Amino acid sequence: MNKIIISGVVAGIALLLVGIFGLYSTIWFFPALASQYFDPAFAFQSSRNMVFYLHPFVIGMALSWFWSFTKGSLTGAFLVRGLKFGVMYALIATFPMMWLIYSSLSVSLGLVATWLALGLLQGIVAGLVFEFTNP
């Protein structure tokens, strides 16, 4: 249990950094895409900021728990196991959710594609962190 918690917190820190880097990268390289966040559908309330920044830690803890059940079935070298874990997470959780979001909300395909890419990247980064902290 201790390994799951420590791995989840470390993954949360890594995912927070990846998220911040991804946010600024989107603003710098895809400003038209980033401007879509000014739509009223994304009305941010300052009282919810902490909930937003806790998201990487929630994902980190959930994926750490999931890792503890799946790590034995992932074969290959360090990088390969991390990649397999990330792809597995993206296919099981991220892709179906992005499909649902795109089919039911008024968001662009480009925006949903960046969320899918972020989910894949989160899974890979978390898998690599778990491979290092809880092999």
Mean pLDDT of 35-64: 81
Q: What is the 3-state secondary structure (H, E, C) of the chain?
A: CHHHHHHHHHHHHHHHHHHHHHHHHHHHHCHHHHHHHHCHHHCCCHHHHHHHHHHHHHHHHHHHHHHHHHHHHCCCCHHHHHHHHHHHHHHHHHHHHHHHHHHHCCCCHHHHHHHHHHHHHHHHHHHHHHHHHCC
What pLDDT does 17 receive? 93
Q: Evaluate if residue 77 carries a pLDDT over 90.
A: no
Q: Evaluate if residue 16 carries a pLDDT over 90.
A: yes
pTM of the model: 0.84
Q: Evaluate if residue 132 carries a pLDDT over 90.
A: no
